Amino acid sequence: MAKNLTKRSEDYSKWYNELVLQADLAENSGVRGCMVIKPYGFSIWEKMQAELDRMFKETGHQNAYFPLFIPKSYFSKEASHVDGFAKECAVVTHYRLKDDGEGGVVVDPDAKLEEELIVRPTSETIIWDTYRKWIQSYRDLPLLINQWANVVRWEMRTRLFLRTTEFLWQEGHTAHATKKEAIEETEQMLDIYADFAERYMAIPVVKGLKTESERFAGALETYCIEALMQDGKALQAGTSHFLGQNFAKAFDVKFTAKDGKQDFVWASSWGVSTRLMGALIMTHSDDNGLVLPPNLAPDQVVIVPIYRSDEQFDLVSKVAKEVMSELRAKGVRVKFDNRDTHKPGWKFNEYELKGVPVRLAIGPRDVENGTLELARRDTLTKETVSRDEVSGIVVALMDEIQKNLYKKAQNHRTENTSEVSTYDEFKEVLKTKGGFIYAHWDGTNETEEKVKNETKATIRCIPLDAKDEDGECMVTGKPSKRKVLFAKAY
RNA sequence: CGGGGUGUAGCGUAGCCCGGUUAUCGCGCCACGUUUGGGACGUGGAGGCCGCAGGUUCGAAUCCUGCCACCCCGACCA
């Protein structure tokens, strides 16, 4: 594996692509904008899935599965939803191939579908069509369902993990008896996403509301978490939508309340995708490769044996295995890499590239001295630790590295967050350092559009924790109640 | 979908303008030996429809046409 990661400052995109490839996470499949997620990359995704799934279930949600194909007619039921997705859908028109007589195959023109099927870009429509059958009474509510699935969006431009044609995600779809409850659910899920981002991914995020123009197609309110990448661009890491009664009305989902009156149910939907992998990579990695937070690392510790002879290998292995079971007993995920097909130096680089938080090396010298060599991925430092204390040290380190990564990301964000009061200042900051920029905005679509056209920066969100402060819109000078978050985004 | 670029072995590439021996080099891969505390070294070896399809030519990696894929920048977006 040739390591030639480009310096981020020179070409961030190239650096990102090479890192994804070299850390063995994913590769381009050659199928239009679709990637192959390789076993190592997928094991990280599985870890994310497992933690999120647990958090969903702890808050009363259940998993279910709905069809990949959605009849075209379902899409015409919620007008704004169509507008949002119609442009980017893959459509199934035929159901059979036939021999073309020249050793190839062609689509059989006789096998045309009466009604085309849309490969789901998101499942609101088919799920709400199903919910109509499931919901009759207030006793059936709330309905709290999540689906782990793949979706397809025919985007113009694709990018590994950040925007692939097909991507994996989870989509939660809930139905409630009251507006208040649906909004609470929407906010609760946003909090879960933020909590997951911060505690597991070690990525600080800003929670906020999208402006009208950035709102999900069909939603009354879109909440999001926004993270800042190392190159100063923002990445939307998760969204949670309050759908009001739009989908209930479109799909005629009514329930009878305690008082016998009928009403449409209130809804939310929320999702995070394999894009989180992109966020993870772009937040923590360095020029030596991926850096994984211990809470998500498939292997938190790798033990590399160093030896010349078989006798030495046996000696070293014995201690390594003891340390491994000691650590496993304390709940640490450990791998003992006893392959004799690669040399220690090669393994050191391999695990650095793959971002394993802690590496332990043990050789004959260590066995003699009762020590191990411990290397941290986050700081790239090495120290010699005592054999007897190693498991305690490692357990404490898991916590420390997790916190350190978060702190580093937080510091980076703080350093790259600016507050401006004039449009000139805004453009200047955008040009010289980028990052998050807080500024007053008059709340109009026109101003938002103007800033976007002139600077490429968009309003990432109206932060939930924004303090009230009267001011003037940096562009128009009209009154503004609070500052909003601008940035160039992925 | 618009602008720009690139497709040569698993990866990275030279050759292409100006057509002409057996397609270059490095990494990786295989065998043997020496090595093993930060990507080892030596010797030998395997691996190519030069993105695909046409065309021009005695002859095409090289010239022409079409297509496909990927990358970058826009517009779009999780």
Distances (CA, A) of A213 to A135, A198, A261, A462, A463: 32, 27, 35, 12, 16
Q: Closest Cα partner for A123 from A77, A67, A168?
A: A67
Q: Closest Cα partner for A175 from A212, A131, A125?
A: A131
Mean of pLDDT values over A319-347? 96
Q: Which nucleotide is nearest to A276 (CA to C1')?
A: B78
| Complete domains list, chain A, with CATH | 12-71+123-284 (3.30.930.10), 301-400 (3.40.50.800), 417-487 (3.30.110.30)
Q: Assign A239 to helix, strand or coil.
A: strand
Does residue A13 register a pLDDT over 90?
Answer: no
CB of A112 within 7 Å of some strand B atom? no
Does residue A31 register a pLDDT over 80?
Answer: no
Q: Could you give the strand order of the β-sheet that contains A91-94, starting from the edge strand earlier in sequence?
A: A69-71, A112-119, A91-94
**pLDDT band at residue A7 under the 50/70/90 scheme:** low
Does residue A66 register a pLDDT over 50?
Answer: yes
Q: Which nucleotide is nearest to A213 (CA to C1')?
A: B77
Q: Which nucleotide is nearest to A164 (CA to C1')?
A: B78
Q: Which of A219-223, A260-264, A362-366, A453-457 has the lowest mean pLDDT?
A: A453-457
Does residue A77 register a pLDDT over 90?
Answer: no
Compute the distance between CA of residue A332 and CA of residue A299 in angstroms, rounded to an integer: 8
Distance in Å from B47's C1' to A172's CA comes to: 50
Residue that has been written with the tokens 């004039």 in this structure: A422
| pLDDT (tens digit per residue) in A342-360 | 999 999 999 999 999 999 9
Question: Which pLDDT score is estimated for A2?
Answer: 44
Compute the distance between CA of residue A17 and CA of residue A58 in angstroms, rounded to an integer: 36
| pLDDT (tens digit per residue) in A432-480 | 888 999 999 999 999 998 999 888 899 999 999 988 999 999 999 999 9
Distance in Å from B51's C1' to A488's CA comes to: 35
Q: Within 222-241 of chain A, which residues have Cβ less than 7 Å from strand B? A: 236-237, 239
Distance in Å from B77's C1' to A397's CA comes to: 39
CB of A275 within 7 Å of some strand B atom? yes
Q: Closest Cα partner for A208 from A438, A440, A461?
A: A461
The model carries a pTM of 0.95
CB of A348 within 7 Å of some strand B atom? yes
Q: What are the residue ranges of helices labelled H in A209-300?
A: 246-250, 275-284
Distance in Å from B34's C1' to A369's CA comes to: 29
CB of A155 within 7 Å of some strand B atom? yes
Rg of chain A over all Cα atoms, to the nearest angstrom: 26
Compute the distance between CA of residue A235 and CA of residue A224 in angstroms, rounded to an integer: 10
Q: Closest Cα partner for A447 from A220, A208, A212?
A: A212
| pLDDT (tens digit per residue) in A235-269 | 999 999 999 999 999 999 999 999 999 999 999 99
Residue A170 β-bridge partners: A148, A272
Nucleotide B35: closest residue by CA–C1'? A308
Does residue A429 register a pLDDT over 50?
Answer: yes
Mean pLDDT of chain A: 92
Question: Which pLDDT score is estimated for A9?
Answer: 64
Q: Which nucleotide is nearest to A5 (CA to C1')?
A: B12
| pLDDT (tens digit per residue) in A86-103 | 778 888 888 888 877 666
Chain B nucleotides reached by a protein CB under 7 Å: 1-2, 11-12, 26-27, 35-40, 69-78
Compute the distance between CA of residue A398 and CA of residue A199 in angstroms, rounded to an integer: 12
**pLDDT band at residue A154 under the 50/70/90 scheme:** confident
CB of A343 within 7 Å of some strand B atom? yes
Question: Which pLDDT score is estimated for A1?
Answer: 37
Q: Phi then psi for A302, rounded to 5 degrees?
A: -120, 135
Tell how far CA A395 is from the center of its chain. Answer: 26
Compute the distance between CA of residue A414 and CA of residue A228 in angstroms, rounded to an integer: 10
| pLDDT (tens digit per residue) in A416-427 | 999 999 999 999
Q: Which nucleotide is nearest to A28 (CA to C1')?
A: B70
DSSP run (H or E) holding A386? strand A382-386
Distances (CA, A) of A403 to A105, A114, A240: 56, 57, 26
Does residue A68 register a pLDDT over 50?
Answer: yes
Distance in Å from B53's C1' to A106's CA comes to: 17
Q: Within 22-51 of chain A, which residues have Cβ less than 7 Å from strand B? A: 28, 30-34
Q: Within 403-422 of chain A, which residues have Cβ less than 7 Å from strand B? A: none
Compute the distance between CA of residue A69 and CA of residue A119 in angstroms, rounded to an integer: 5
Compute the distance between CA of residue A462 and CA of residue A102 in angstroms, rounded to an integer: 60
Distance in Å from B59's C1' to A104's CA comes to: 32
Distance in Å from B52's C1' to A151's CA comes to: 30
Distance in Å from B35's C1' to A486's CA comes to: 57
Q: Which nucleotide is nearest to A35 (CA to C1')?
A: B70
Here the tokens at position A2 are 């040739």
CB of A283 within 7 Å of some strand B atom? no
